[in-house]
Each structure stands twice: as C-alpha cells, then as structure tokens.
Amino acid sequence: MKKLIKDIDLIATFNEKLEEIRNGWILINENIIEDLGSDKPPKIGEGEIISGKGMLILPGFINTHHHFYQSLFRSVKEVQNAKLFDWLVFLYEKWKDIDEEAIYISSVVAILELMKSGVTTTTDHLYLFPKNRPLLFDSEVNGARLTRVRFYGTRGSMSLSRKNGGLPPDSVVQKEEEILRDYERVVKKYNNPEPFSMLRVALAPCSPFSVTESLMKETLKFAEKYDLLLHTHLAETKDEDDFCLSKVGLRPVDYMEKLGWLNSRVWFVHLVHVNDSDIKKLSDFNVGMAHCPTSNMRLGSGISPVVKMKSTGIRIGLGVDGSSSNDTGNFLQEIRNAMLLQRVANGAESITPRDVLSMGTTGGAKVLKLEKEIGSIEKGKAADIIGFNMERLEFAGALSDPVAALVLCDAKSVDISIINGDVVIENGKFKYVDELEFIRRQNKISKKLLS
Ligand SMILES: [Zn+2]
C-alpha cells in the first residue's frame, strides 16, 4: 500500500547536499520511499494520507550503542557517583540474576524509550550471559520484534573472569567453546543480511578487561567467515589504559592492532583516551565509532576528541550507552550533549547542530554499513521517517531554523514515527504496544533484582 505524507512544513533530508525542502511531501510505497518533492503532491488513489502540517520531518535516528538490560538498573543509589570499574564491580553482582523475562521486558522498555526520542534503527550490546541462561539473546530479539524497531543485535561475550586477571566474577563469564557455539546458533537463526532487513546480528566481545585474547581472535575469524560486523568497548577510561599496559604491555588501540581488530568490520564504542597516533591508526584502518557523550560525562570518563577524529574521516555515530550509566535512553539528549560536550573542549564554532544530527542519522548508517538503506530521506531508501510538531512551547520563537531548534531547544519526543513503512507512533502514542503495561512489569523485575 502507498502512503503520502503531505503539507509538510519542512523536510530535512540529510542527503549528501543536506537539502531541506519547504512545503514538501513524501510518497511511500510499502517499506520504501518512492519519491519526494515540494508543492503539489501526486495522487495516490486508495492509499493512506498523513498530514505533515506544522511538522519538521527527518530520517529516523540510528542508535549505535546500548545495553537494553541495564534499563532495569538506572539511578541505583550505591553507584550514582562511581567511576566505571567500581560501578561495574558493584553491578555485576546484581546482573548475575538476570533471566529471560528480565531481558525481554527491559529490551521492550529500552527500545520504546529510544523510539519516542526518534530512533528507528538500534543496535544493542548484550554481553551478559549468566550460568544456565543460554537463551537471553533470543529474548532480546523477541522484545525488538514486538516494538517493530529495525534491530542490529550484537551477540556479546565475557570470557576473562577475576580469577584469571579480568574484572567480572565467574558467575557472568562463559567458556570460549560455549560462546563460539552460540555465535553460530544465533547468526544462523537470526541474521538476515538482505537489503532492508529488520534483523541483523554482529559479534561483540565486551572489553579488553573482560575478554581473553584468544576469544578476540576467534571472534574475528568467525566474523570473516560469515561476513559480520564486530563491536567492542575501547579506550573508555584511564583505568582501562593502565589495565592494558600492565596485562599486555600495550595501550588499547595498539592491543587491538595486535589482535587484527583494526579493520573496517569493526566499530568501537567510546574512544575517549586516544592520542594522535591512535587516531591515525583508527582512520587508516577505516574503523567506525559509537560516541556516547552522556555516559562519558555521567561516569566522568573524559571527553572523546570527536572533532579531531571527524576531521580524519573516521565514521562516527552516536549511542546512548546502557541506561545505568546514562541513565536515560533519550536519543535527542544524546544529540544535544554531543554538540555541547565538544564545544566545551573545542569552542562554539567547532561543531554545529546539523553536524550532530548528521552523526545521529547518516553517521550511524555508515558505522553499521547501511548507508545505502537508511540514514537519509531519499528515493529508494527505507521509509524510516520521524516527525516533530513544531507548534510546541519548547520551539516557540525558534522557527527561523527548526532543524537547529531540535538540538538547541528542549526537543522532547516525536509525534510520528514510521519504521519500514509502518506507522509505529501516531500523535505521540505507540500504535502497537501498551507502554504502561511494560513500565509496570519492568519496575517489578527491577525491584526484585535490586533487593
Ligand atoms: Zn557500553
């Protein structure tokens, strides 16, 4: 079926020329954008007409890093003021009791929160597989399917426990054979690499301080065999620098180079503590990056040199990171914080509202190597489209530049969201999911896990 969004005040296409179309329309055929233009729209006969009056329309946002399950552990009193390693050591003990239902519910909650703030494609880094819980990845996929988000799951892993010199306790660490077997299972069962796929799978060992060297190498081999992307945390804190230097005698980026993990399949998250030589390597090897400014600020990890990295051509997307270190999954806040934090480090002229919106759209698409399918409003791309009613208190007086207002003012949530041609949020409300039911179930599970 066709859908026509017409009388749109402004379309910010985020195509290569960053074209913005006043008084526009967008024609959707099934799940694809068939055409767009300004003034007189085409006639569509039987199809659905959607009014874009008073609206700013953009491509849906792409979230490149998250840990959905952590939305059960937000604002936990004991670690509200902790830095990363202390925060992890405390939370591992709570995370070890997580089960299938907890993963399912928290995934739905985390995704709904992302969708409200404009996300239409999200990744998730699920690295937590406590003993006798082999099907957690499956629960997450079920949660994502319910929400109808475009999902790029990553099968994470931890294999280096405290007794072997790592950070996590035995209770949340798996054997390498077990992990490799499950890579094979989930990739065969869930990864759909076809164009416009709604479900893909990447592999994501957790971090240098929770994964063995041999698992990193085996994971790389597996990814090459099945043509998959790779993801991991890297260079997040000074503690991680010290850990890598003392355990392997190399700083994090050099350690990745030694493992063969500097290549275009890989996107790292954080890259806060990187020097000029690291940046050159990351750029030369064409790796991607997920930047999570709110998490970096919340944990006091530092300021990633994003402006400098961007100038070398490194592919950069944004990510909200896990909800216990953010503690929100509000992607609009992430976009705004990305701009503000870089300005603290580099000055007001260093980065613009459109720069950070690009990171949240085309930037994320390039990181996931999906730039031919998503990230901009163009003919032939997926119909992943969001809209904001600009006649709101938070935008009053800001309409000389609505696109910038989305970043500079207090944008709250989308009024419409279309994913893969399907209207999933209408008048600010979810069409298919009872939000309140999931909030209540989440609070119940959260209370149990924290007690
Ligand atoms: Zn993370």
**In the chain, what are the domains?**
2-59+384-430 (2.30.40.10), 61-367 (3.20.20.140)
Q: According to the model, what pLDDT value does residue 283 have? A: 98
What is the C-alpha to C-alpha distance for residues 375 and 100, in angstroms, rounded to an integer?
32
Q: Give yes or no for a contact between 24 and 71, defined as CB atoms under 8 angstroms apart.
A: no
Ligand 1 centroid, distance to 348 Cα (angstroms): 28
3-state secondary structure of 204: strand
Ligand 1 centroid, distance to 65 Cα (angstroms): 7
Closest by alpha carbon to 298, among 135, 449, 75, 115? 75
What is the C-alpha to C-alpha distance for residues 158 and 346, in angstroms, rounded to an integer?
36
Ligand 1 centroid, distance to 233 Cα (angstroms): 6
Ligand 1 centroid, distance to 179 Cα (angstroms): 19
What is the C-alpha to C-alpha distance for residues 186 and 155, in angstroms, rounded to an integer?
8
Query: Taking residues 47-63, what's their average pLDDT?
Result: 97
What is the C-alpha to C-alpha distance for residues 206 and 158, in angstroms, rounded to an integer?
6
List the structure tokens of 22: 């006043």
Ligand 1 centroid, distance to 321 Cα (angstroms): 5
- The percentage of residues in the chain with a pLDDT greater than 90, rounded to a whole number, is 93
Q: Give yes or no for a contact between 33 and 379, defined as CB atoms under 8 angstroms apart.
A: yes
Q: Is the pLDDT of residue 244 over 90?
A: yes
State how far the alpha carbon of 398 is from the alpha carbons of 37, 300, 415, 416, in Å. 24, 32, 18, 20
Ligand 1 centroid, distance to 323 Cα (angstroms): 9
Ligand 1 centroid, distance to 268 Cα (angstroms): 10
Ligand 1 centroid, distance to 231 Cα (angstroms): 10
3-state secondary structure of 266: strand
Mean pLDDT score of the chain = 96
Q: According to the model, what pLDDT value does residue 65 have? A: 98
Helices (H), 368-450: 402-408, 435-450
Instruction: Name the band, by pLDDT with cuts 50, 70 and 90, for residue 84.
Output: confident
Q: According to the model, what pLDDT value does residue 39 have? A: 86
β 288-291/55-59 pair status = unpaired
Instruction: Name the band, by pLDDT with cuts 50, 70 and 90, for residue 389.
Output: very high
Instruction: Name the band, by pLDDT with cuts 50, 70 and 90, for residue 208.
Output: confident
What is the C-alpha to C-alpha distance for residues 108 and 188, in angstroms, rounded to an integer?
23
Instruction: Name the band, by pLDDT with cuts 50, 70 and 90, for residue 324.
Output: confident
Ligand 1 centroid, distance to 50 Cα (angstroms): 37
Ligand 1 centroid, distance to 66 Cα (angstroms): 6
Ligand 1 centroid, distance to 272 Cα (angstroms): 13
At position 297, the amino acid (one-letter code) is M
List the structure tokens of 222: 């597996």
Q: According to the model, what pLDDT value does residue 47 have? A: 93
Query: Taking residues 139-163, what's their average pLDDT?
Result: 96
Give residues whose Cβ lies within 5 Å of ion ligand 1.
321
Q: Is the pLDDT of residue 45 over 90?
A: no
Query: Taking residues 273-292, what's their average pLDDT?
Result: 98
Which residues lie below 8 Å from residue 208, measured CB to CB, with a gap of 6+? 234, 240, 243, 244, 247, 248, 252, 255
